[in-house]
Amino acid sequence: MRIYDISVPISSNLPTWPGLSKVKLEFVETIEAGGNANVTHVSMGVHTGTHVDAPYHFLGGDTRTVESLPLEVLTGSAVVVHLPYCDRITADILQEIDLPSDVVRILFKTRNSELWRLRETAFQENFVAISEDAAEWLVERGVGLVGVDYLSVAPFGSSVPTHWKLLEAGVIIVEGLDLSGVEPGNYTLYCLPLKIEGSDGAPARAILIEK
């Protein structure tokens, strides 16, 4: 059994969405300074690195926050789809992919994953994302979880339509995956967001197990 860690490391160098605070890690106690233990304080947004969006993130009247997301959707069989040459994932592109009719969880590997492999620290506005019509296509196919390999499932500058289509339908969104070391194919996904009560999202540790 081979396990792939597809979470990005959280550090002060991690790129964050423009306007959001950078990750801040600091020691509040150290053994070297005479403390009983090394103790670290972390300050960051809930949409940092590898994270999960809840419907509450974009749907103002929706009370589904991150702690209520179903674990049975966050774990289970998943398909990694490699789209190395596209600049945007559209419905036309998805139509050409030979996907199982009963697929529930799809993770999209694009050129974005190379940014994680290279440890690129600057935010990239031209990341590959999912168009509104592709989001609608995924909903119509009954997909329950969509994962992408950069910090948003939606194109930069047009965040609302794609998020709205997916989240309104109850599709769980996982963003910030590092799929650079993963080949396309079938896996078992385990993605567990922190259980933060009342939050619109949460950082997650995500792994794939090779079938």
Beta-bridge partners for 145: 105, 172
Q: Is residue 57 within 8 Å of residue 200, measured between CB atoms?
A: yes
Q: Is residue 132 within 8 Å of residue 162, measured between CB atoms?
A: yes
Among residues 47, 51, 57, 163, which one is catalytic?
57
- Chain centroid offset of residue 55 CA: 14
Could you write out the three-class secondary structure of 110-138?
CCHHHHHHCCCCCCCCCCCEECHHHHHHH
Q: Is residue 135 within 8 Å of residue 161, measured between CB atoms?
A: yes
Q: How far is CA 174 from CA 5, 37, 41, 177, in A?
A: 14, 34, 25, 7
Catalytic site residue 57?
A: yes
* Catalytically active residues, by annotation: 57
